[in-house]
Amino acid sequence: MKRLSVLLGVLALVVLAMSFTTKPVAGLEIGDTAPDFSLENIDGSMVSLASTKAAYAAEGIDVKGYIVIFTCNTCPYAVMYEDRIQELHEEMAPQGWPVVAIQPNDTSIQPADDLASMKKRAAEKGFTFSYIIDAEQEVFPVYGATRTPHVFLLDQEHSVKYIGAIDDNPQDATAVEERFVVNAIAAVEAGGNPDPNFTRAIGCGIKSK
Protein backbone atom coordinates (compact mmCIF):
# COMPACT_ATOMS: atom_id res chain seq x y z
CA MET A 1 0.00 0.00 0.00
CA LYS A 2 2.86 2.35 0.88
CA ARG A 3 4.55 1.59 -2.42
CA LEU A 4 1.31 2.37 -4.27
CA SER A 5 1.04 5.72 -2.50
CA VAL A 6 4.60 6.60 -3.49
CA LEU A 7 3.93 5.63 -7.11
CA LEU A 8 0.77 7.73 -7.17
CA GLY A 9 2.69 10.69 -5.79
CA VAL A 10 5.37 10.35 -8.44
CA LEU A 11 2.70 10.03 -11.14
CA ALA A 12 1.05 13.23 -9.93
CA LEU A 13 4.33 15.11 -10.25
CA VAL A 14 4.90 13.70 -13.71
CA VAL A 15 1.46 14.86 -14.79
CA LEU A 16 2.22 18.33 -13.47
CA ALA A 17 5.55 18.38 -15.25
CA MET A 18 3.90 17.43 -18.52
CA SER A 19 1.68 20.47 -18.17
CA PHE A 20 4.56 22.90 -18.74
CA THR A 21 4.32 25.83 -21.12
CA THR A 22 6.48 25.70 -24.24
CA LYS A 23 5.94 29.39 -24.92
CA PRO A 24 4.08 32.16 -23.11
CA VAL A 25 0.54 32.19 -24.52
CA ALA A 26 0.54 35.98 -24.17
CA GLY A 27 2.55 38.62 -22.47
CA LEU A 28 6.22 39.51 -22.53
CA GLU A 29 8.87 38.11 -24.83
CA ILE A 30 12.65 38.38 -24.75
CA GLY A 31 13.65 42.00 -25.39
CA ASP A 32 10.33 43.49 -24.32
CA THR A 33 10.22 46.13 -21.61
CA ALA A 34 8.39 44.81 -18.55
CA PRO A 35 5.90 47.18 -16.94
CA ASP A 36 6.27 48.09 -13.30
CA PHE A 37 3.63 47.20 -10.73
CA SER A 38 2.68 48.08 -7.18
CA LEU A 39 1.56 45.11 -5.08
CA GLU A 40 1.15 44.45 -1.37
CA ASN A 41 4.05 42.80 0.39
CA ILE A 42 3.82 40.46 3.37
CA ASP A 43 5.00 43.32 5.60
CA GLY A 44 2.10 45.54 4.51
CA SER A 45 4.17 47.82 2.28
CA MET A 46 3.55 48.32 -1.42
CA VAL A 47 6.38 46.97 -3.57
CA SER A 48 7.32 47.93 -7.10
CA LEU A 49 10.47 47.58 -9.18
CA ALA A 50 11.11 51.27 -8.58
CA SER A 51 10.72 50.97 -4.80
CA THR A 52 12.95 47.90 -4.80
CA LYS A 53 15.68 49.85 -6.60
CA ALA A 54 15.33 52.73 -4.15
CA ALA A 55 15.46 50.43 -1.11
CA TYR A 56 18.67 48.78 -2.29
CA ALA A 57 20.20 52.13 -3.25
CA ALA A 58 19.61 53.26 0.33
CA GLU A 59 21.76 50.30 1.40
CA GLY A 60 24.50 51.20 -1.06
CA ILE A 61 23.61 48.48 -3.56
CA ASP A 62 23.24 49.38 -7.23
CA VAL A 63 20.39 47.33 -8.66
CA LYS A 64 21.44 45.84 -12.00
CA GLY A 65 18.23 43.93 -12.55
CA TYR A 66 15.40 41.95 -11.02
CA ILE A 67 14.60 38.25 -10.63
CA VAL A 68 10.81 38.33 -10.83
CA ILE A 69 9.41 34.93 -9.86
CA PHE A 70 5.72 34.04 -9.94
CA THR A 71 5.31 31.45 -7.19
CA CYS A 72 2.99 30.42 -4.38
CA ASN A 73 2.61 28.45 -1.15
CA THR A 74 0.69 25.47 -2.42
CA CYS A 75 2.10 24.12 -5.69
CA PRO A 76 4.38 21.10 -5.05
CA TYR A 77 6.91 22.51 -7.50
CA ALA A 78 6.87 25.91 -5.83
CA VAL A 79 7.45 24.19 -2.50
CA MET A 80 10.39 22.27 -3.97
CA TYR A 81 11.94 25.58 -4.99
CA GLU A 82 11.29 27.60 -1.81
CA ASP A 83 14.74 27.10 -0.32
CA ARG A 84 16.42 27.61 -3.68
CA ILE A 85 14.57 30.89 -4.21
CA GLN A 86 15.77 32.10 -0.81
CA GLU A 87 19.32 30.96 -1.60
CA LEU A 88 19.14 32.67 -5.00
CA HIS A 89 18.12 35.92 -3.32
CA GLU A 90 20.87 35.64 -0.69
CA GLU A 91 23.45 35.00 -3.42
CA MET A 92 22.35 37.52 -6.02
CA ALA A 93 20.72 40.43 -4.14
CA PRO A 94 24.05 41.68 -2.73
CA GLN A 95 25.30 41.69 -6.33
CA GLY A 96 22.37 43.86 -7.42
CA TRP A 97 19.90 41.19 -8.55
CA PRO A 98 17.15 40.86 -5.90
CA VAL A 99 14.31 38.38 -6.05
CA VAL A 100 10.81 39.83 -6.23
CA ALA A 101 8.35 36.97 -5.73
CA ILE A 102 4.73 37.39 -6.81
CA GLN A 103 1.87 35.14 -5.68
CA PRO A 104 -0.57 35.12 -8.64
CA ASN A 105 -3.23 32.57 -7.68
CA ASP A 106 -6.89 33.47 -7.12
CA THR A 107 -7.28 32.91 -3.39
CA SER A 108 -10.98 32.10 -3.71
CA ILE A 109 -9.84 29.02 -5.62
CA GLN A 110 -6.69 28.42 -3.57
CA PRO A 111 -7.30 29.87 -0.06
CA ALA A 112 -3.95 28.66 1.27
CA ASP A 113 -2.28 31.20 -1.01
CA ASP A 114 -3.90 34.22 0.64
CA LEU A 115 -1.85 37.02 2.19
CA ALA A 116 -2.17 35.68 5.73
CA SER A 117 -0.88 32.30 4.58
CA MET A 118 1.93 33.97 2.65
CA LYS A 119 3.00 35.82 5.82
CA LYS A 120 2.94 32.60 7.82
CA ARG A 121 4.91 30.66 5.22
CA ALA A 122 7.49 33.43 4.87
CA ALA A 123 8.02 33.48 8.62
CA GLU A 124 8.37 29.69 8.76
CA LYS A 125 10.90 29.63 5.92
CA GLY A 126 12.74 32.83 6.78
CA PHE A 127 12.14 34.53 3.45
CA THR A 128 14.08 37.78 3.11
CA PHE A 129 12.90 38.64 -0.41
CA SER A 130 9.77 40.62 -1.21
CA TYR A 131 6.78 38.26 -1.36
CA ILE A 132 3.88 40.18 -2.87
CA ILE A 133 0.38 39.25 -3.95
CA ASP A 134 -1.21 39.88 -7.32
CA ALA A 135 -4.59 40.12 -5.61
CA GLU A 136 -6.47 41.49 -8.64
CA GLN A 137 -4.61 39.16 -11.01
CA GLU A 138 -3.60 42.07 -13.20
CA VAL A 139 0.16 41.53 -13.35
CA PHE A 140 0.71 37.87 -14.23
CA PRO A 141 -1.31 37.99 -17.50
CA VAL A 142 0.64 41.05 -18.67
CA TYR A 143 3.93 39.27 -18.02
CA GLY A 144 2.63 36.02 -19.53
CA ALA A 145 3.26 33.87 -16.46
CA THR A 146 1.44 30.56 -16.64
CA ARG A 147 3.10 28.37 -13.99
CA THR A 148 4.41 28.47 -10.46
CA PRO A 149 7.32 28.94 -10.36
CA HIS A 150 7.89 31.03 -13.49
CA VAL A 151 10.89 33.39 -13.79
CA PHE A 152 11.22 36.66 -15.68
CA LEU A 153 14.75 38.07 -15.49
CA LEU A 154 14.83 41.82 -16.12
CA ASP A 155 17.81 44.13 -16.46
CA GLN A 156 17.92 47.53 -14.79
CA GLU A 157 15.95 49.05 -17.69
CA HIS A 158 13.28 46.35 -17.22
CA SER A 159 14.22 44.66 -20.50
CA VAL A 160 13.36 40.95 -20.42
CA LYS A 161 16.54 38.89 -20.68
CA TYR A 162 15.38 35.40 -19.71
CA ILE A 163 12.06 33.60 -19.18
CA GLY A 164 11.52 30.15 -17.72
CA ALA A 165 12.73 27.81 -15.02
CA ILE A 166 15.14 28.46 -12.16
CA ASP A 167 17.28 25.43 -12.95
CA ASP A 168 17.10 22.03 -14.65
CA ASN A 169 16.03 19.80 -11.76
CA PRO A 170 12.87 20.63 -9.79
CA GLN A 171 12.91 17.47 -7.70
CA ASP A 172 16.52 17.38 -6.53
CA ALA A 173 18.55 20.52 -5.81
CA THR A 174 21.70 18.44 -5.35
CA ALA A 175 21.41 17.06 -8.88
CA VAL A 176 21.10 20.41 -10.66
CA GLU A 177 23.46 20.62 -13.63
CA GLU A 178 22.44 23.98 -15.08
CA ARG A 179 21.41 27.02 -13.06
CA PHE A 180 19.50 28.87 -15.75
CA VAL A 181 18.90 32.11 -13.83
CA VAL A 182 22.42 32.41 -12.41
CA ASN A 183 23.92 31.67 -15.83
CA ALA A 184 21.62 34.21 -17.48
CA ILE A 185 22.72 36.89 -15.02
CA ALA A 186 26.37 36.08 -15.69
CA ALA A 187 25.78 36.49 -19.42
CA VAL A 188 24.05 39.85 -18.97
CA GLU A 189 26.81 41.12 -16.70
CA ALA A 190 29.38 40.07 -19.30
CA GLY A 191 27.57 42.21 -21.87
CA GLY A 192 26.05 39.31 -23.76
CA ASN A 193 22.73 37.55 -24.08
CA PRO A 194 21.71 34.49 -22.06
CA ASP A 195 21.87 31.16 -23.84
CA PRO A 196 19.34 29.77 -23.39
CA ASN A 197 17.16 32.84 -22.92
CA PHE A 198 13.98 30.75 -22.70
CA THR A 199 13.30 27.43 -20.96
CA ARG A 200 10.17 25.52 -20.07
CA ALA A 201 8.38 26.70 -16.95
CA ILE A 202 7.52 23.47 -15.15
CA GLY A 203 4.98 23.67 -12.36
CA CYS A 204 1.34 24.11 -11.49
CA GLY A 205 -0.97 26.20 -13.63
CA ILE A 206 -1.86 29.58 -12.15
CA LYS A 207 -5.35 29.49 -10.64
CA SER A 208 -7.47 32.19 -12.26
CA LYS A 209 -11.15 33.03 -12.61
pLDDT 10s digits, 10-64? 444 444 444 333 334 579 999 999 999 999 999 999 999 999 999 999 999 999 9
pLDDT of residue 186: 98
CB atoms within 10 A of CB 131: 28
- In angstroms, the CA 184 to CA 193 distance is 7
Bond before 141 cis per omega within 30 degrees: no
Average pLDDT across the chain, whole number: 91
- For 2-205, CATH gives 3.40.30.10
What are the φ/ψ torsions at residue 131 (nearest 5 degrees)? -125, 100
Average pLDDT over residues 184-205: 98
In 59-131, where does DSSP find H-type helix? 76-92, 115-125
pLDDT of residue 203: 98
- Listed in sequence order, the residues at least 6 apart from 52 whose beta carbon sits closer than 8 Å to its beta carbon are 63, 66, 98, 100, 130
- In angstroms, the CA 22 to CA 31 distance is 18
pLDDT of residue 18: 41
